[in-house]
Amino acid sequence: MSNPAGDTKTKTQSRTRTPPQYKVLLLNDDYTPMDFVVEVLMRFFRKSELEATRIMLQVHHEGVGVCGVYPFEIAETKVHQVMEAAAEEGHPLQCIMEPE
Ligand code: NFA
């Protein structure tokens, strides 16, 4: 038996705190400049220029891309930061979150 101590699995899980995680996603559109998306990824998601460019191009080509995975409140804050920055510049960029 892989668990010789018996039914300890549930107890072990309940002792390990793993808050639910949320993916923060960027959605493609036809108008937001690529440079702005790269800047957003570097500023709010602490990505390198190389990684930010990779994510931006994935969104551009596939329609959606993951910026990062965070606990609820942090994900919510990032979504707000991106939406506010985009609105300030008049870009239609959309940022959403969903359960991992
Ligand atoms: N598709 C946009 C363009 O061609 C660039 C973009 C990438 C927008 C990722 C939103 C997200 N200017």
Q: Where are the domains of the chain?
A: 31-99
Rounded to two decimals, the ipTM of the complex is: 0.98
Output the pLDDT for position 29. 98
CATH fold group of domain 31-99: Ribosomal Protein L30; Chain: A, (3.30.1390)
Q: What SS3 class is residue 7? A: coil
Contacting residues for 86 by C-beta, under 8 A, at least 6 apart: 32, 36, 40, 92, 93, 95
Tens of pLDDT, residue by residue over 13-36, are 556 778 889 999 999 999 999 999
How far, rounded to the nearest angstrom, does the alpha carbon of residue 61 sit from its chain's CA centroid?
18
Of 24, 32, 35, which is best to mutate to test ligand 1, by the most ligand atoms within 8 angstroms of its C-beta?
32
> Measured from the CB, is residue 52 less than 6 Å from ligand 1?
no
